[in-house]
Amino acid sequence: MARSRESVLIRRDVVGELVPYGTPYELQEGQWAEITQALGTSFTLLVEGRLVHLGGADADAIGKDTPEAMTVEHDGDETTDEEIKRLIDEQLHTCYDPEIPVNIRSTSSTWGWSINASSNPMSRRRASCAS
């Protein structure tokens, strides 16, 4: 079964990043692209045989609205480590691999992480990811 892709016209010059290399790639006004993925807060485009990651802040360049990032509510110092882990896990489920339409948490790209105490009084706890 073939997936349908939306063709879009690049409306202004914009710089994306080549997937998987992360090197800058200039998209020029008037170029055609296909949206292969529009998940999380970014887009993956197929442009002239190349996959290009386009950040959500540049969504207007392809005629789209800027995707809204997930907001996380918490009680600051009153939030337990377990609650922080849950909030982090929710955030990780909104981060998508640019080559496949699966969030990085489901692909086990982040298979372990922990919360550590910090000596910085402005940041008492810190999460560390291992992938």
Supply the DSSP symbol for 76. G
- Residue 39's nearest CA partner among 87, 127, 86, 107 is 107
Q: What is the pLDDT of residues 12-49, one digit of tens each?
A: 999 999 988 889 999 999 999 999 888 778 899 999 99
DSSP classification of residue 28: -
Are 73 and 84 in contact, with CB atoms under 8 Å apart?
no
The whole-chain average pLDDT of the chain stands at 78
> Where along the chain do its domains lie?
6-62, 76-130
Residue 95 burial class via C-beta count within 10 angstroms: exposed 0-12, middle 13-18, buried 19 and up: middle
Q: What is the model's pTM?
A: 0.62
Q: Find residue 27's DSSP bridge partners.
A: 14
Nearest-angstrom CA–CA distance, 85 and 74? 12
Six token digits for residue 89: 């896990």
Q: 6-62: which CATH topology?
A: SH3 type barrels. (2.30.30)
